[in-house]
Amino acid sequence: MAKLPNAPLQEAVFELRWTLDVNAANKQEVDTGYDLAQGKLQAQAHERFPVHIRKSSSLLLPLMYKIAHQFWRDDNQTFPVLQLGPGVFTVNDTDKNYDWEKEFFPLIETSLDWLYNAYDGQLQPNFLNLRYIDSVDLGKYDFDGDWLRFVKDNLKVDLTNHFEHPGNLGHLSINQSFVLDEQSELNISIHSGVDHKTGSQLLIWQTGVVVVGEIEKADILQHVQKAHQHTSLLFKKMTKGPFYGSFS
């Protein structure tokens, strides 16, 4: 599918987590390869991602599954960005640069090799997530304040309250999960928001596929490809009609 000129994509996120060791003394989880892996990953990624930023919250005690290091293309923090923390690695991009076939998927493939090399191959992934965050400024649409009707007309999700309620709906939050197979599920989240810079009302929706359980390195890219197929098709189905046309 050709890239939409006015795509609502705010951020695409690939996330991988792995099984941690348990400290025998305090019974707490610990990423034993993390301290050395950070430097090894930085060295491998340096040519393409030379700017390293350490998150201030990680200066004291790194928290498991929390991002501690970022690797950027330049000092302007131009996306995409690679992120690493104890037990977690992500690849993030925005609509300005996003291209699945030419950019995002190849970067996932390359950075996975970097990650495994940084850990000397000693990783056992147990969680994978490919997630897309989309958003539109409702000031650019014929929005009359009726959230439920707008979501029904434009995202094909119909929510009806079968009870009397006072006032108008001021905030919307809808979450759904669909089981795809024994390891994976498709998640949809739709909610209202506000652009803190302009004050405009926003409609934000996230779609993603989560894979949970033991994942072999050889199967990661296959899972990612399938996740992209599911989310890409879902986007077209949900926005089909004039709403999709507004992105062209």
At 241, list the tokens: 């009609």
Helices (H), ranges, 98-212 = 105-118, 147-155
Query: How many angstroms separate the CA atoms of 96 and 4, rounded?
Result: 11
Q: What would the pLDDT profile of 129-182 be if each residue is shown by its tens digit?
A: 999 999 999 999 989 999 999 999 999 999 988 888 788 888 999 999 999 999
Which residues does 245 contact at the CB level (< 8 Å), separation at least 6?
none
The predicted-structure confidence for 85-104, as pLDDT tens digits, reads as follows 999 999 999 999 899 999 99
Q: Within 10 A of 33 (CB to CB), how many other CB atoms are there?
A: 18
- For residue 221, the one-letter residue type is L
Model's pTM, two decimal places?
Answer: 0.94
Q: Do 85 and 68 form a contact (C-beta atoms < 8 A)?
A: yes
Q: For the chain, give every domain's residue range.
A: 10-123, 125-248
Q: Which residue do the tokens 């998640």 mark?
A: 187
- Token pair recorded at residue 7: 């795509």
